[in-house]
Amino acid sequence: MFSTILSAAILGIDAYPVQVEADICDGLPQFCMVGDLSPEAREAADRVRTAFRNTGFYFPPKRVTVNLSPAHIRKEGTRYDLPVAAALLSAMGALPAEQVENVLMAGEVGLSGTVRPVNGILQTVMLAKESGCKMCLVPKENVREGAFVPDIPVIGIGNIKELKECLACPEKAGQKTPSNETELFKQPVYKDDFREVNGQEGVRRAAEIAAAGMHNFLMIGPPGAGKTMIAKRIPTILPGLTREESLEISRVYSVCGLLEGKGQAVVRPFRAPHHTISASALAGGGRRILPGEISLATRGVLFLDELPEFQRNVLEALRQPLEEGQVVISRVNGKYVFPAHFQLVAAMNPCRCGYYPDRERCSCLPGEVARYMHRISWPLLDRIDICAEVHKVAYQDLARAGTSESSGQIRERVEKARILQKKRYKGCAWQYNAGLPSWGVHRFCPLGSEEEQILKTAFEKMDLSARAYHRIIKVARTIADLENEPDIRTPHLLEAIGYRCVDRKYWER
């Protein structure tokens, strides 16, 4: 009496096929599970045995062996409970072999037989489709998530009592919800809007440029000036998600169990980790390797408030993902690659008390101010394209509350600028100005002789690094795109240089 059920293991954000084999033979009553299992995966034996008793299934007083193969993949979590239960029922002859053939299952089983949701269903169903399975059996709560994958029936199950019915006539039992794809690509509705930001024209403009070219953005200013308020609203001026982007975000959220029954990501992520975060929580890692905040912010915004308060090693962990658009974690058992196409938005006070250079309120010593600013290393600062000062809101701006431009109006311009960039970089590995590699700057952003001269002067006067030089041109390109100008002109370049002057002002003392 032997049977096999298909399931999947999750490593990082990818799913790998796993065969759950069950054998029942004469001998001393025993339930043995093998195949490189973590403690919680091994406990499936106790859960399934008790669930069988409580749902009225017969559990034979025989020698039961369950093997999860291949043995070189570590099996973690409770997702193998459902396939183990199905494999036992099939080995006992309660489920016909042809019905369980080519059906991929995953789910946790409670002691009463209820099937509970598990993480990573999206990639599990994707694997089922790739390997040509005829259907996928998942916990009821996870059906919406699985339904995002087209062309494969995804059946939700609430209790192991329903196993027979689900497999015999899936059409009847199936709780497959139709994919709400048509709704998905409508412009998502956000709670926040740029209309609520009073005044701050300069920072609003900088945020718009940053959004249009996917540039990393730093705001410096006193507490209470509205830095967090602006950062929170940046996702609202970014274009709506494409199907591929939604899939990329959903894969990360699925393994972290953050889709919350929504099925798939419909809005751009906004992640704002506290400054006490550890490097592995930011970049990813842990005992069971999971994506960190960087990957959770992919295709959206990673907001770091109080930037100098972050541990130095945490900030350094940002550098590689910022350049490469991915996080690579190497361990003895393999290499994990997580997406990291995020826009970095950071905010900081100009000194510890927050009011420098306002000498009436700030009593920090010059040395202290310098030390505070230098907690952010040059290499990191060099990767930030736009640096803007945020000032206290003026009284007349408060009085004019509610008259500012809305996120929708700004988004229209951002979308147009992004379409221009996509056209320009068709067939390239990058899509936006911020991603343009230094070798491509001269090819895609040629300068006239007057512009060349301005940049040369700035380069010498400001003692710019090669990276900063390229970044100025890229930002100028975005400003020109916002104005639908085919060439980079002097005003574009001067504005872009202005966004680099701010960091010079604060750091060079």
Binding site for Zn ion (CB under 5 A): 351, 353, 356, 362, 364
The closest of 410, 388, 406 to 226, measured between CA atoms, is 388
- Least separation, in Å, of the C-beta of 220 and Zn ion? 13
Closer by beta carbon to Zn ion, 260 or else 360:
360
Closer by beta carbon to Zn ion, 39 or else 367:
367
The closest of 294, 37, 250 to 145, measured between CA atoms, is 250
- Least separation, in Å, of the C-beta of 363 and Zn ion? 6
- Least separation, in Å, of the C-beta of 351 and Zn ion? 3
CA 288 → CA 10, 109, 328, distances in Å? 10, 21, 15
- Least separation, in Å, of the C-beta of 346 and Zn ion? 19
Closer by beta carbon to Zn ion, 222 or else 269:
222
Could you tell me if 52 and 64 are in contact, meaning their C-beta atoms sit under 8 angstroms apart?
no
Closer by beta carbon to Zn ion, 362 or else 458:
362
Closer by beta carbon to Zn ion, 337 or else 353:
353
Closer by beta carbon to Zn ion, 80 or else 356:
356
Closer by beta carbon to Zn ion, 315 or else 351:
351
Could you tell me if 234 and 345 are in contact, meaning their C-beta atoms sit under 8 angstroms apart?
yes
- Least separation, in Å, of the C-beta of 393 and Zn ion? 20
- Least separation, in Å, of the C-beta of 391 and Zn ion? 16
Closer by beta carbon to Zn ion, 223 or else 446:
223
- Least separation, in Å, of the C-beta of 199 and Zn ion? 24
Instruction: Please name the residues in contact with 159: beta carbons below 8 A apart, sequence gap of 6 or more.
Output: 55, 112, 113, 114, 115
Closer by beta carbon to Zn ion, 328 or else 353:
353
- Least separation, in Å, of the C-beta of 81 and Zn ion? 57
Straight-line distance from the first to the last Cα atom of the chain, in angstroms, rounded to the nearest whole number: 79
Length reported for the chain = 509
Spatial separation of the C-alpha atoms in residues 414 and 208, rounded to whole Å: 7
Instruction: Please name the residues in contact with 354: beta carbons below 8 A apart, sequence gap of 6 or more.
Output: 222, 223, 362
Could you tell me if 283 and 317 are in contact, meaning their C-beta atoms sit under 8 angstroms apart?
yes
Spatial separation of the C-alpha atoms in residues 165 and 146, rounded to whole Å: 20
Bond preceding residue 170 cis, omega within 30 of 0: no
Instruction: Please name the residues in contact with 314: beta carbons below 8 A apart, sequence gap of 6 or more.
Output: 277, 278, 279, 282
Tell me which DSSP letter residue 65 carries. E
- Least separation, in Å, of the C-beta of 142 and Zn ion? 51
- Least separation, in Å, of the C-beta of 381 and Zn ion? 20
Bond preceding residue 223 cis, omega within 30 of 0: no
Closer by beta carbon to Zn ion, 356 or else 506:
356
SS3 327: strand
CA 281 → CA 73, 266, 274, distances in Å? 24, 24, 11
Closer by beta carbon to Zn ion, 266 or else 364:
364
- Cβ-in-10-Å burial (0-12, 13-18, 19+) of 183 comes to exposed
Beta partners for residue 108, in sequence order? 116
In this structure, the number of other CB atoms found within 10 A of the CB of residue 273 comes to 20
Could you tell me if 19 and 131 are in contact, meaning their C-beta atoms sit under 8 angstroms apart?
no
Residue type, 22: A
- Least separation, in Å, of the C-beta of 281 and Zn ion? 30
CA 483 → CA 203, 211, 508, distances in Å? 18, 14, 33
The closest of 333, 269, 299 to 9, measured between CA atoms, is 333
SS3 322: helix
- Least separation, in Å, of the C-beta of 307 and Zn ion? 16
- Least separation, in Å, of the C-beta of 502 and Zn ion? 18
